[in-house]
Amino acid sequence: MSKNISSLSTRSGIKNNLFSAQQKLAREANPDTAKQLLADKSLVGVANIESSSSFYDFIQGENADKKAYVCNGTACLCAGTQDKVKNVLVEQFGNDEVGHVSCLGHCYEASAFQVDGNNYSGEEIHNIEALIDAKTKTLVIPKGKSLDTPVLLVETDDVKAWYQPIFDSIKNNQSEQLLEQLKSASLRGRGGAGFPAGLKWQACKDQVADKKYIVCNADEGDPGAFTDRYLLEHHPHSVLFGMLLAGYLAGSDEGILYIRDEYPLAIENCQSAIDELIELGLIGEEPLHPFSFSIIRGAGSYVCGEETALLRSIEGQRPIVSVRPPFPVVSGLFGKPTILNNVETFACAHWIINQGGSAFAEMGSEQSAGAKLVSLDYSFNNPGVYEVLMGTPLKQVIDDLGGGFRYPIKGLQIGGPLGGIVPLEKFDLLSIDFESFAEHGFLLGHASIVGIPESMPILKFLEHLFEFTAEESCGKCFPCRIGSIRGLEMIQAVSDGTKINRQLLDDLLETMELGSLCALGGGLPLPIKNALQWFEGELKDAFSEETADE
């Protein structure tokens, strides 16, 4: 990252941030002139503007500014629906007006696509002309299924009463008590890493600085995951409560939601919730704790889900991963202490504050407290969002909640494109918690569950994973940037009769795992290794007998 650009970007602030200004460049009649004007205004070089803008799918390049986009995410790929979808869109708009997008969060229905910024799925591809004429808005996800006593899927009936615990604490000067409640809850980050949220908030509170930020990572880019989308669309006040609480406890007066461009209704509903808080006088200049929210709209980049890349993105820099330390709680957005958590982590805070940290900690398993949202894709008879207690057996989720599968599957990928591939014989051994998955060599991650059909060659699935990583790599570190390409080449060469050298592949995976700067390159080897272990019989014909030295 460039500390100079970060400092310069601070001048514009969040409301006039450099990244959002770059997104407007693509709509200018003369983008080159506009880039020069923006560079002059921001006191940065045109090369800096070009470097950042060219990174994003939806700002610049061959995939930008298309009439329609086809979802090529893992769930839609496994459902086998997208060739048909693309053919219909190409026939309607022409090949030059149809692009691709990594996931639209419609994994529960498949056949996903976007037209004029609105998302569709399922049978809607058969009514394309009617959709265009009606300019139908994106449909919300079907209602999620919660626990008997919901933790995350609680309805917000009275907005003022919803936020009252924060303002009561401010009046009574009880910030330390609230922070202790959060720490005693043993809430671990729900974005996949599982770091204790209370420790992160305490660390930011302990920093001495003239400005601090609260950032919500709503760039839910894992194909197969749509739990964050559900919360943003159906329960935005749960997320805003958590951010406002974090601001109060850490000493911040500004919160930013970084929401992916592919979730237009989530952006709309969150902005409506923010406007409601302003109208009710709960945020702004007058309340006991002045606080403001801003929404930053993403522009089509998976790696912006990595916390340091996301922060660089907001600053208008090229969103490449930063070396840590320093961690964001010390030097985050614009070099200031920053709390950055994902959507579901913030959404847990309301129940914890109202019911008590110890009550939350008592739910779930020993090392994974509380409740968790899981998303079940199109392969299930009952797909959708479900709220379960941590520690719930995976088989119970599959059979009792998901209703089993609508077609034969050979395994599940859980936790997104970097999550493990779980074979059928492991279903009975896993439960929805961090330790169970780690113990058996898998990854819970976002708890997105995608069924891999029996009819899909596992080699094709691995090709998809390497291709995704190669496409989405930020390019900063060699193991990820080059390793993903080399792995993709190995697999694609099989169709031409070239066998994969197993030792070379093992060496490549080890290099990526140990040498990559972030979880994109470092996480890809996990599902590849799982496939090599559990689907060895299916893959044996793809490998040669020779060693690397030969």
Mind listing the pLDDT tens digit for each residue in 339-389? 999 999 999 999 999 999 999 999 988 789 999 999 999 999 999 999 999
Q: Which conformational region is residue 413 in: left (phi greater than 0), alpha (psi within -120 to 50 degrees), or beta?
A: beta
Whether the Cβ atoms of residue 111 and residue 79 lie closer than 8 Å to each other: yes
- Which pLDDT score, from 0 to 100, does residue 3 have? 65
The answer, yes or no, to whether residue 525 has pLDDT greater than 70, is yes
Q: Quick one: CA torsion of 306, 207, 183, 238, rounded to 10 degrees?
A: -60
pLDDT one-digit tens code per residue, 48-98: 888 888 899 899 889 999 999 999 999 999 999 999 999 999 999 999 999
Q: In the numeric block, which tokens belong to residue 243? A: 């951010």
Where does the pLDDT of residue 527 fall: very low under 50, low under 70, confident under 90, or very high at 90 and above? very high
pLDDT score at 550 = 46
Q: How far apart are CA 301 and CA 537, in angstroms?
A: 36
What's the 3-state SS for 381-445?
CCCEEEEEECCCEHHHHHHHHCCCECCCEEEEEECCCCCEEEEHHHHHHCECCHHHHHHCCCCCC
Ordered domains of the chain (ranges, CATH): 3-53 (no CATH), 68-134 (3.40.30.10), 159-362 (3.40.50.11540), 372-453 (3.10.20.600), 458-542 (1.20.1440.230)
| Rg, C-alpha atoms of the chain | 23
Residue that is written with structure tokens 């086998």 in the block: 80
- With CA atoms as reference, report the closest residue to 222 among 379, 73, 378, 79: 73
- Average pLDDT of the chain is 92
pTM of the model: 0.94
